[in-house]
Copies of this chain bind each other. A is one copy, B any other.
Amino acid sequence: MNTILTVYLSSLFCFTSLFGQEPPRTLGVLLFQSFEMLDACGPMEIWGNLDSKVKLITVAKSAGPVVTAQGVALVAQTSLTDCPKLDLLLVPGGRGAIKALKDPEIIAWLRERSAQAEITMSVCNGASILAAAGLLDGRPATTNKAYWKLATKPGPKVKWIPQARWVDDGNRVTSSGVSAGIDMTLHVVDRLFGVQTAEAMANEIEHEWHRDSTWDPFAAKHEVK
C-alpha cells in the first residue's frame, strides 16, 4: 500500500513539475483577542484571491470567533494544536499583541511553526510578538510607527529599521503599521509568484502599490528616527 502511495505521489510530483504547477502553499494567519482588523484582513484579501496558489487558513488558541480591536469578530478555522503544517505564516498586531506576546502557548507555537515555514511575516506590532519569541534576534525588521517605542521594546536584540514600509530579511518579512501590510503582501507575492501576479492583484483591488520598501512618510509623521 505504501509503495502504491509513493508511486502515486511521485507521479503527481513529476506531473506538476512538468506542467510548472506547484501545489498550493498553506498560509496560516494567527488571530488573537483584540488583533487589529486591517493588519490581518488587508493581506488576507490578497492571499485569499490567489486560491490556486495559496490555501488560506485562520488559526487561534481555539477555533471559533476571535474579536478584533474594532469589535467585530473573525472566525478562526483551526486551533494552534490542530493547525496543519504551514508554508507561510502571518502575524498581525493590534492592542491585543501586548497580551499575546506574553502567552507561552502562542510563543512556543510560533517558534515551532516558523522553523518549518518558508516565510514568517508580521504586520504592525505583530513584530513585537515575533521579537518576544526571539524570531527576529540579530535581524533587520520594522514595526508600526505610531507606537514605535512600545512596539520595539520586546525586541532589544532586533535591528529595528525606523524608515521602512517593510523589511525583507529572507524567511522573515516585517511591515510597518496596519495598511503597510498590503504593500508587504504584494512584495511577497512578487517574490513568490512574479511581478505580473502582484500587479494583477494590486489592480484587482484598486490599490496603489508602494513598491519601494523605504517609502515611509509615517516615520516622520510619528517622529520616529
Contacts and interface: CB of A to CB of B under 8 A. Distances in A.
B146 A203 contact: yes
B203 A221 contact: yes
A222 interface: yes
Given A205-B38, A217-B208, A218-B203, A71 B51 contact: yes
Contacts of A73: 74-75
Interface stretch (A42-50, A102-110, A112-120, A128-136): A42-50
A65 B75 contact: yes
Interface in A139-190: 144-146, 176-180, 182
Interface residues of A, number: 44
Contact of A205 (B48, B58, B75, B179): B179
Contact of A222 (B37, B41, B42, B203): B203
B44 A206 contact: no
Nearest to A70: B48
A217 B42 CA distance: 20
6 contacts: A37-B41, A38-B42, A48-B70, A146-B204, A203-B222, A208-B217
Interface of A: 29, 36-38, 41-42, 44-45, 47-49, 51, 56, 58, 65, 68-75, 77, 144-146, 176-180, 182, 203-208, 210, 217-218, 221-222
